């Protein structure tokens, strides 16, 4: 099933995804500056990092908007270009004020449906920190399966290495609340 669309929007149950633009930078920086998000997405110069992500030709950054049109986060995807390993990877962050309200799973379902149906991917990956239990639960609701632990995968704010979880999603695993 293709993703419901309204012009340049991808429509979820309770949100819309659209290409993020320069006008979103301040709001995305505000969200990335919250302690909860900053602990996972760190960065020294958040305005520059958000702008650089928007300009990165290999990265597709989408603003996540609630039903009132308020930007509540971002979800992004990139493609593995080697045809023998062709798949998409995704990542997202949301304003902590909307956590635990279903927006994360709605955004991930909406984007993944689009990546399968409209972009032709056969597999999607995501790699949350092993101790990010809320994110892991969110992705499991969408249908992502745990593939394994990536030991000492990313450096934490304290300078030490932390494990990550590799998760993947195949089209037949995607939960489909719109069906």
Each residue of 25-56: pLDDT tens digit? 999 999 999 999 998 888 888 899 999 999 99
> Which residues of the chain register pLDDT less than 50?
1-6, 179
CB 10 within 8 A of CB 4: yes
- Residue pair 142/173 in contact (Cβ under 8 Å)? The answer is no
pLDDT number for residue 126: 98
pLDDT at 178: 54
Q: What pLDDT shows up at residue 85?
A: 86
pLDDT at residue 90, as a whole number: 98
Strand partners, 8: none
Whether the model pTM is above 0.85: yes
Question: Which domains, and CATH codes, for the chain?
Answer: 5-173 (3.40.630.30)
**pLDDT for the residue numbered 41:** 87
Separation between Cα atoms, residue 98 and residue 51, nearest integer Å: 23
pLDDT at 8: 76
Residue 159: what pLDDT? 87
Distance CA 60, CA 77 (A): 5
């Amino acid at each position: 099933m293709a993703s419901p669309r309204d012009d340049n929007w991808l429509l979820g149950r309770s949100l819309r995804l659209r290409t993020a633009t320069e006008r979103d930078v301040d709001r995305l920086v505000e969200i990335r500056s919250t302690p909860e998000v900053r602990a996972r997405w760190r960065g020294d110069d958040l305005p520059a990092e958000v702008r650089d992500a928007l300009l990165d030709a290999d990265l597709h950054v989408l603003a996540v908007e609630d039903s009132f049109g308020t930007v509540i986060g971002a979800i992004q995807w990139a493609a593995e270009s080697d045809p023998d390993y062709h798949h998409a990877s995704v990542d997202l962050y949301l304003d902590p004020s909307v956590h635990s309200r279903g927006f994360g799973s709605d955004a991930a379902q909406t984007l993944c449906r689009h990546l399968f149906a409209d972009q032709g991917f056969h597999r999607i990956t995501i790699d949350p920190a092993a101790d990010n239990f809320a994110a892991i639960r969110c992705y499991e609701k969408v249908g992502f399966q745990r593939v394994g632990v990536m030991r000492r995968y990313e450096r934490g704010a304290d300078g030490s290495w932390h494990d990550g979880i590799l998760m993947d999603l195949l089209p037949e695993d995607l939960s489909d609340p719109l069906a």
